[in-house]
Amino acid sequence: MKSRITGTGSYAPAKVLTNADLERMVATSDEWIRERTGIRERHIAAAGEACSDLAVQAGRRALAAAGLPATELDMVLVATCTGDYPLPSTACLVQHQLGATKAAACDIAAACCGFVYALSVADAYVKAGMRHVLVIGSEVMSAITDWTDRNTCVLFGDGAGAAVVSAGDGERGILSTHLRSDGNLNELIAVPGGGSRMPPSEKTIAERMQCIKMKGHETFKVAVRNLEEIARETLAANHLRVEDLDLYVPHQANLRILTAVMERLGLPAEKVMLNLDRYGNTSAASIPIALDEAVRAGRIRDGSLVMLGAFGAGLTWASAMIRW
């Protein structure tokens, strides 16, 4: 039994925040942002538009693409670090809104790697007997962004992407998934306040500890090395070469990171899906949004060999190989 992606969908909020807009908010410039990140604009959720709202939109589109009613879902997984509430899970809210009446539901917390981690969970459950699992990456990163910090506020955007993972047979499907973590490097990317370690207080709010903090230089080096290594591990596990790939869909974090990884792997630009110039870093949503765009643009067809690669807070990194 193979688990196959039978439908994809994505959603981005209507509001677009450009680099020119950011120039009026912090001491930065369009040229500086594009040169250092590759980002031109990003989508920002409207007031009252929460993580579950984005997830439901993407989930509906994925179900429509798969031709599957929500009532047939066995499980809903939502990868997010910006859920609606500490509890209940955002996945339960999505399950209700979609009308997935017989589905189990839970969130996966692995930051930017969340979608690939959740895809791995879905793959395991389908191989264990489930028929259909909806995997969603949804983020409202603007809710945890410090809009006074020019080093981080230029990076992030909001959005959601989804995939229906269903049971099938034959050679096509998810060939392998590879998950890694190193908690020793947890401070490189973190939101230090708001949890049980540092509950909300006047101090945490005044110091914006409920916002994301990053050590960019250190993160860059680790990200490039680990993305390259896990890509090579994934290729080797499937007895494949870089030349065999039809498309590499990486987490859309920073163009300089992705360019370095492409150069190390020897991947030509035409075999890499890049859309961070229009979305920025949407954390767990970035890979499924890019995946959906690639499918709808015809860059992924039946039989295509597709590799996913992600890196994020934790630290975590992950990959998956898929025969479409």
* Residue bearing tokens 């973590």: 181
* Active-site residue (options: 19, 226, 254, 281): 281
Measure the CA–CA gap between 129 and 103, rounded to whole angstroms: 14
Measure the CA–CA gap between 78 and 61, rounded to whole angstroms: 15
* Active-site residue (options: 51, 92, 112, 211): 112
* Active-site residue (options: 43, 132, 178, 251): 251
Measure the CA–CA gap between 53 and 55, rounded to whole angstroms: 5
Specify the pairing of strand 173-181 against strand 316-323.
antiparallel
Q: Which of 65, 66, 105 is nearest to 89 (CA)?
A: 105
Note if 19 is an active site residue. no
How many of the other CB atoms lie within 10 Å of CB of 11? 25
Strand-pairing partners, residue 162, are 9, 136
Note if 153 is an active site residue. no
Measure the CA–CA gap between 246 and 189, rounded to whole angstroms: 31
Q: Are 114 and 82 in contact (CB under 8 A)?
A: no
Note if 217 is an active site residue. no
* Residue bearing tokens 């993407």: 58
Measure the CA–CA gap between 310 and 274, rounded to whole angstroms: 13
Catalytic residues: 112, 251, 281
